């Protein structure tokens, strides 16, 4: 994947389709014992600063940061959500103990993480799009520009909104397919949209007028395209469809040793890291002393099994939350009554079964677009092969 910066002259068609990360590179690495062995030897040597043959927590930090970068997470310390994932990854290496990690342990855990990453990518490939303003310019000139955006002032209510406010709303509506990186991303807003707004018009603080809205919008969009040309934005694009197949798999496995997955919010990537059973889910759910459980914990339990069932965590996908809420209502799962553990399990299984049926009939599709601030491959040295031993 190196040296591809120069090849970007290839442009257009191939670029629109984007570079696809589907995990096959990772599987190739982990699947070849010799190559993977050398890879680990090299990584370990690099990390073992004091040369004592073990990795301390501190020595593991760069590896953990690298794994995060490979997943497209922001750097450690920049958000509580991703920091949680970083600490989970670190805990995997140390098995939750404060001890040093041997090379064998490092090799095993790293392989689990990489295979988990590859599985996630195979299921939900990430397409890397380079957005450089060309598609946006094309969209501005296309016949769909006007019908798509003319209704914004009448559809969206911004109290005392200026022209500027409505133009920002319009950019938030544009998709990556239309050549616009997500304007909801604060980096895009402050580095692309804001500068474009500043540089191109002085009339933006005026109240909005329907008759001149599109004209102004077009002008700003041209400026945005110019900024994108000077500073292309890389976006990791995923499309996930929740069609119930994950639940089907889980239910047919009788909840045995299903891999626990944690979902990375930004990219929708999943990593299988630990094992998790329905019983484990029940153990994390508070119980009263009689061994009975309040139904109010059903939601918690559902969230615990969600990763194994291929469901997003509660709150991550609004359409999915609605499906789950409807099912819970249908099965009287929200009445907060106290039930026995058996009943609780049965009800949870019924809920999963109903969600599965719902999704089979009406799959929910979501796409995510995350801005990648550096090309993924160079942001992480994790997957770079050892330089000295080209296999």
Least Cβ distance, residue 76 to Ca ion (angstroms): 20
Report helix, strand or coil for 235.
strand
Kindly tell me which of 55 and 208 has the beta carbon lying closer to Ca ion.
55
Of residues 171, 158, 150, 182, the one with CA closest to residue 220: 171
How many residues at the interface with Ca ion, by CB under 5 A? Answer: 4
Q: Binding of Ca ion at residue 374 (CB under 5 A)?
A: no
Stretch that binds Ca ion, among 47-55, 84-92, 250-258, 365-373 (CB under 5 A): 47-55
Kindly tell me which of 55 and 233 has the beta carbon lying closer to Ca ion.
55
Stretch that binds Ca ion, among 53-61, 69-77, 171-179, 350-358 (CB under 5 A): 53-61
Q: Binding of Ca ion at residue 48 (CB under 5 A)?
A: yes
Q: Binding of Ca ion at residue 52 (CB under 5 A)?
A: yes
Least Cβ distance, residue 71 to Ca ion (angstroms): 25
Strand ranges in 317-373 using DSSP code E only, listed in sequence order: 338-340, 364-372
Residues 79-85: contacts with CB under 8 Å, at least 24 apart: 81/265, 82/264, 82/266, 85/262, 85/264
Kindly tell me which of 102 and 253 has the beta carbon lying closer to Ca ion.
102
Burial (Cβ within 10 Å: 0-12, 13-18, ≥19) of residue 258: buried
How far is it, in rounded angstroms, from Cα 144 to Cα 140?
A: 8
Least Cβ distance, residue 99 to Ca ion (angstroms): 12
Q: Binding of Ca ion at residue 28 (CB under 5 A)?
A: no
Least Cβ distance, residue 59 to Ca ion (angstroms): 5
Q: Binding of Ca ion at residue 50 (CB under 5 A)?
A: yes
Kindly tell me which of 94 and 191 has the beta carbon lying closer to Ca ion.
94
Stretch that binds Ca ion, among 42-50, 118-126, 137-145, 326-334 (CB under 5 A): 42-50
Kindly tell me which of 105 and 343 has the beta carbon lying closer to Ca ion.
105
How far is it, in rounded angstroms, from Cα 307 to Cα 298?
A: 15
How far is it, in rounded angstroms, from Cα 340 to Cα 292?
A: 4
x/- letters, 138..167, toward Ca ion (CB under 5 A): ------------------------------
How far is it, in rounded angstroms, from Cα 6 to Cα 113?
A: 32
Six-digit token string for 323: 């499906």
Of residues 128, 98, 187, 101, the one with CA closest to residue 4: 128
Least Cβ distance, residue 60 to Ca ion (angstroms): 9
x/- letters, 54..73, toward Ca ion (CB under 5 A): -----x--------------
CA-CA-CA-CA torsion sign (301, 304, 310, 312)? positive
Kindly tell me which of 42 and 287 has the beta carbon lying closer to Ca ion.
42
Angle at 115 between CA 28 and CA 250, to 5 degrees: 135
Kindly tell me which of 37 and 53 has the beta carbon lying closer to Ca ion.
53
Classify residue 102 by its DSSP letter.
-
| Residues between 296 and 315 that touch Ca ion (CB under 5 A) | none
Kindly tell me which of 50 and 332 has the beta carbon lying closer to Ca ion.
50
How many other C-beta atoms can be found within 10 angstroms of the C-beta atom of residue 99? 12
Angle at 190 between CA 184 and CA 195, to 5 degrees: 125
Least Cβ distance, residue 52 to Ca ion (angstroms): 4
| Residues between 250 and 289 that touch Ca ion (CB under 5 A) | none
How far is it, in rounded angstroms, from Cα 345 to Cα 330?
A: 17
Interacting residues with Ca ion (CB under 5 A): 48, 50, 52, 59
């Amino acid at each position: 994947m190196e040296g591809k910066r120069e090849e970007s002259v290839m442009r257009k068609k191939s670029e629109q389709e984007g570079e696809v990360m589907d995990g096959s590179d990772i599987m190739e690495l982990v699947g070849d014992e010799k190559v993977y062995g050398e890879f680990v030897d090299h990584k370990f040597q690099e990390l073992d600063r004091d040369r004592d043959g073990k990795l301390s927590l501190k020595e593991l930090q760069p590896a953990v940061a690298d794994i995060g970068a490979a997943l497209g997470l922001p750097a450690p310390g920049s958000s509580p959500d991703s920091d949680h994932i970083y600490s989970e990854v670190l805990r995997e290496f140390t098995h939750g103990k404060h001890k040093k990690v041997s090379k064998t342990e490092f090799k095993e855990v790293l392989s689990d993480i990489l295979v988990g990453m590859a599985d996630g990518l195979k299921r939900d490939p990430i397409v890397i799009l380079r957005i450089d303003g060309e598609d946006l310019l094309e969209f501005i000139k296309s016949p769909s520009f006007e019908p798509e955006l003319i209704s914004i002032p009448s559809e969206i209510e911004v109290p005392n909104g200026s022209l500027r406010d409505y133009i920002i709303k319009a950019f938030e509506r544009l998709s990556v397919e239309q050549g616009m990186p997500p304007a909801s991303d604060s980096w895009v807003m402050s580095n692309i949209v804001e500068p474009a707004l500043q540089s191109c018009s002085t009339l933006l603080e005026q109240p909005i007028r329907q008759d001149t809205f599109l004209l102004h919008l077009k002008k700003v969009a041209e400026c945005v395209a110019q900024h994108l040309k000077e500073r292309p934005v890389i976006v990791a694009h995923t499309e996930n469809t929740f069609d119930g197949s994950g639940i089907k798999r889980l239910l047919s496995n009788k909840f045995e040793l299903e891999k626990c997955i944690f979902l990375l919010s930004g990219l929708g990537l999943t990593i299988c890291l630990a094992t998790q059973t329905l019983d484990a889910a029940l153990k994390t759910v508070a119980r009263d002393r009689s061994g009975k459980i309040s139904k109010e914990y059903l939601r918690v339990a559902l969230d615990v099994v969600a990763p194994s069932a291929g469901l997003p965590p509660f709150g991550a996908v609004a359409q999915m939350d609605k499906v789950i809420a409807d099912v819970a209502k249908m099965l009287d799962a929200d009445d907060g009554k106290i039930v026995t553990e058996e009943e609780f399990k049965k009800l949870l299984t019924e809920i999963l079964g109903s969600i599965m049926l719902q999704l089979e009939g009406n799959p929910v599709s979501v796409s995510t677009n995350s801005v990648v601030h550096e090309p993924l491959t160079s942001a992480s040295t994790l997957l770079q092969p050892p330089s000295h031993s080209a296999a």
